[in-house]
Structure 1
Amino acid sequence: MRRRLVAVALVIPFLLGACGSPAAQPPPVSTSDTTVAEITAGDEYNDTDVMFLQMFVHHQRQALQMTATAVKRAQDPELKTLAQAVQVTESDELKMIEGWLKSWGKSTEVDTAPNLHAHHGGLPGTGPAEIEALTTVKEAEFDTAFLSLFLAHQHNAMELANLVRTGGKNAETKAFGERVRASRQGGIQQMLKLMTK
C-alpha cells in the first residue's frame, strides 16, 4: 500500500482508545500498490527540507532504540503494544526519508553539534545517556521512565515538523510534516492516558 506508513500511524491513537479531542487527520491513504520505499519526493527542495529530513533521521533512530527497549521491558501490555506499533510506523518512515535524502545526493547523517542548530531551536533533546538509562532502570519503574522520556521525544517530533511545514519547499516533505504532527499528537494522547492508569 502506497501510504502504509500513514495507515500504521493512524492505528496508534486508537490502540488504547482515544482520549481528549481528536487529532487533525492526515491526507487520505492511497490504495495503490506502491510501497513506502517507492514513494519519491521529486527534485524540488530547499535547505530546510534537507535539514528537516536529516534531523528526523537522527530522531527516528533514537525512537527505534527506545521502543525496542520498551518492547522487551514494558510491564504494561498496552504500552508494549504501543511501542510495537510505533516501531512499525517509524521504521517505515525512516526508510522513506533516507531514500529521499539519497535521491537528492544528500547525507542521511546530521552533525549533532548544538551550536549548528541553535538558530532553528536545536536538535531533539533526547540524549544517549537518557536512552541508555532505559536499559538499566528498575523493572518496576520502567513504564513511567519510558513514558516520561518518550512523551518529550514525540513532542520534539512535532516541533521538528513545524520547521518544514513553514519553511520547506518540497511537497512530499511538507505533507510528511503534517502527518508527523497528526500521528504524534495521537500517540501523545495515548501515552498521557497510560501515565494516569
Structure 2
Amino acid sequence: MRALTNRVTRTAALVGAVAAGLLLTACGADDTAPPASASPSATAAAPGSAASQAPAPGPFNDADVMFAQMMIPHHEQALEMAELADGRAEDAGVKKLVAAIERAQDPEIRTMRAWLEGWDRPESADHGSGHGSGHESGREDGHGSGHGMAGMMSAQDMKDLAAARGEAFDRAFAELMIAHHEGAVAMARDEQRNGVNPTARKLADDVVRTQSAEVAELRRILGRL
C-alpha cells in the first residue's frame, strides 16, 4: 500500500513539473515574438496609399505641362461664361449645356492644378506676349493661331455677353462657346499628338469627345433660335 502511495506521489510531481515547464516556454515565446507591425506584409506600402497615388503618374514632357497651364485659364473663362447664364439664359438647351460645362470643367481645373503641383511646375508660365491677360484671342504668342489660348474671348466679348438677355443671350452664348470649345479641342489635339503622360492624354481625349459633342449641340440650338 505504501509503495502504491509513493508511485502516485512521484507521478503527480512529474506532471506538475511538466506543466510548469510548458507554462514557462509559452511565456518566453510571448516575450520574444516580434510585434505584428513588424511583419513584411504590414510594413509594405499598401495599394492605394498616398505614396502610390501620384496625381498624374508616369513620365511627362513640356507638352503635358503646357496643356495643363493653358487649359486651366481656358476652362476658367468657360466657367465665367457659364456663370453669366444665370438670370440671362432663356433656352432650356443652353441651360442644360451650362450645367454640363460647370459639372465637368471645375473638377478638371482642380485635377490639372494637382498635376502641376505633382510635377513641380508653376500653374502659369510666360508663353509669350499677352499671355497674362488670358482674354485675348488670335494673339501671336510664339505658338501660332490654334495653339496656345485658341478660342479665348476678349474683354469686349465678355462685356457684350453680360449685357445680353433672353434669346439674344442664348444666341451670343452659343456662338461664343462654339469658338471657345473649338479652341479647347485644338489644344487637346496638340496634347494627343505631343504629350506623353497617360493621365494628361486621357483628359485630352475626354475634352475632344465631350466638347466636340457640345459644339454639335450648340449648333443645333443656333439652328432653332
- Classify the TM-score, shorter chain: 0.7 to 0.9
Matches within 5 A, 1:150-189: 150-189=177-216
Counterparts of 1:133 and 1:39 in 2: how far apart (Å)?
A: 42
Structure 2 gap ranges (5+): 1-47, 133-138
Q: Does 1:134 align with 2:161?
A: yes
Q: Greater shift after overlay, 175-184 or 71-80?
A: 71-80
Structure 1 gap ranges (5+): 1-32
Q: TM-score, normalised by structure 2?
A: 0.66
Matches within 5 A, 1:47-126: 47-111=62-126, 112=131, 114-119=139-144, 121-125=147-151, 126=153
Residue 29 of structure 1 corresponds to: none
Identity between Structure 1 and Structure 2 (%): 25
Q: TM-score, normalised by structure 1?
A: 0.75
SS at match of 1:135: helix
Counterparts of 2:202 and 2:182 in 1: how far apart (Å)?
A: 18
SS at match of 2:104: helix
User: Are the equivalent residues in 2 in contact too, given 1:58–1:110 (CA < 8 A)?
Assistant: no
Query: Runs of 4+ in structure 1 displaced over 3 angstroms?
Result: 113-117
User: Are the equivalent residues in 2 in contact too, given 1:71–1:83 (CA < 8 A)?
Assistant: no
Summarize the Cα distance change of 1:122–1:96 in structure 2 as closer, same or farther, 3 Å threshold. closer
Residue 23 of structure 2 corresponds to: none
Question: Amino acid of the residue matched to residue 86 of structure 2?
Answer: V
**RCO higher in 1 or 2 (8 Å CA, sep ≥ 6)?**
1
Question: Amino acid of the residue matched to residue 129 of structure 1?
Answer: Q
Summarize the Cα distance change of 1:78–1:101 in structure 2 as closer, same or farther, 3 Å threshold. same
Q: Rg larger in 1 or in 2?
A: 2
SS at match of 1:162: helix
- The offset of 1:168, in angstroms, is 0.6
Q: Deviations over 1:69-111 (max 9, x none)?
A: 1233111122112101111111111111111111111111244
Q: Greater shift after overlay, 176-185 or 126-135?
A: 126-135
Residue 27 of structure 1 corresponds to: none
Summarize the Cα distance change of 1:110–1:74 in structure 2 as closer, same or farther, 3 Å threshold. farther
Question: Amino acid of the residue matched to residue 114 of structure 2?
Answer: G
Summarize the Cα distance change of 1:177–1:104 in structure 2 as closer, same or farther, 3 Å threshold. same
RMSD: 2.1
Counterparts of 1:72 and 1:107 in 2: how far apart (Å)?
A: 36
Q: Deviations over 1:111-169 (max 9, x none)?
A: 41644343573422322321232111254411111100000100111100011111111
